[in-house]
Structure 1
């Protein structure tokens, strides 16, 4: 049965595939380098394979730092009395203290694991050779994971940023049209989740290595769009909190007509306090909508509202 390539990668997950490739390469490289226990290189690769190249680098760095502290402490204690229960307990406390003191908090657990491996798994082997081999194993696993993540289908956060942004703006324009032209409710909570997702993609992109100045300009533009969305939702929530059946003034009606090409049919505007407040916030909402339309990331047709006349 033929399976579409994109569908297959979506079902299995590209990170899963790259993790499998990394482990495969770890075993091959370990054999070529005559490394004693490929298991440690494979574990380092699995832990270091993250959703972005930068995340892989940081996870690998944390493991490497923890390995160095654990190996140094394990070597020192193994030269005194390998496998000694009291020294094992003291050594773990020292590893945790050192990593916390150096603010390598995420390295503490792997440091304890490496220390314990050296103290309990020597089986007559040289503590020096065993400790050095654990460092080499870890370095090999980390290096392979980072290279695989960088070279094989590297994460395309820019695509995620632009697609999420375009989808969000489209939905906002449509839902605001249905709200203010057709008097339908807006699920602002749903839209806020989409904005949070967009901000998350932006953060991941900006933290990654694979960026250039032209792409960064686009992402900065998207960041401005997310800021406009925050402002828009704040004023929509205020509008929703006001009484029903408030009236738009002529200026706001004309502005909505320019955006949606629909006449807003309501009673003649009355200059009451609530209507003044309502129209003030509506003017800001409309300005935000115009700003979003003027900042299209890709070419997009004006979305028409689907409410009945």
Structure 2
């Protein structure tokens, strides 16, 4: 059985947990387990996601604790008022667009409402917030200072993969008359856009690093145009007549000849086909020169 390679994220997660447990022992935190869970959840695939996850856990913990404490001093926390409290939590999170903090807020709220009475409720809410804060700080710090995730490298990998897939799609279309579904290509283009958004968020945590915004925007636009032109071509017919200009460009690009096929006559669909094929080749040349 082949043993999988241990990744850096795994290593950082273990370091974060051990460090959190050590800090919990030194400062006698009430729940090293909860602090460790917060540290684990904060080790994300990007710096921005780490801080966002940590922020959401802290928001949820504080909000859940505050609502539980306020309601416990006003009304008896029976099933009816617990339901009201959950509705209040969800409403507040939606109001402030804290959608990813909702579950944590509800967990803390229910933990206090169902398990604690009197001063114990306040102590639990305070301890839970402190434990979460410690875990989040340690997890985010480990992810930031120990070999931080290279989100730009991931974008480049997706771009190269998308470029090769487009070449493969075009080659199969021209030489094999094979029409493939374009959903995978569309997903790759979407991944490039999403990856770039994460990369730009990560840049806020670094100084002097270039975002290469124009570079990635041009690549993204070219991939989008290629996808759109391919969609039109796929809707026409399987055996078009490729004009001489496109044929020369394609043969030069792939370094092999396109077999000659006799046709009775060319029609308007062939003109449409060659127009979109020319546009694909033009955008592909732009991508090729950039990467």
TM-score band by shorter chain is 0.7 to 0.9
Root-mean-square deviation (CA, aligned residues, Å) is 3.2
5 Å-filtered alignment, 1:1-309, equals 8-10=5-7, 14-78=8-72, 88-122=82-116, 126-180=120-174, 182-189=175-182, 190-209=184-203, 215-217=210-212, 220-266=214-260, 272-296=267-291
Query: What is the deviation of 1:16?
Result: 3.9
**Shift of the alpha carbon at 1:29?**
0.9
- The DSSP-based 3-state class of the residue aligned with 1:216 is coil
CA drift at 1:51: 2.3
Contact 2:177 2:239 (C-alpha < 8 Å) held by counterparts: no
State the 4+ residue runs in structure 1 displaced beyond 6 angstroms: 80-83
Shift of the alpha carbon at 1:143? 0.8
Unaligned runs of 5+ in 2: none
Whole-angstrom CA distance in 1 between matches of 2:207 and 2:167 = 30
Alignment deviations for residues 125-170 of structure 1 (CA, whole Å, 9 cap, x no partner) = 5544333222211211111111122122321111111122123213
Q: Secondary structure at the match of 1:207?
A: helix
Q: What TM-score comes out, normalization by structure 1 length?
A: 0.77
Partners of 1:63 and 1:214 in 2: CA distance: 29
Three-state SS of the structure 2 residue aligned to 1:208 is helix
Contact 1:66 1:108 in 2 (8 A): yes
Contact preservation (8 Å) 1:49, 1:145:
yes
Indicate if the aligned counterparts of 2:47 and 2:144 stay in contact, CA closer than 8 A. yes
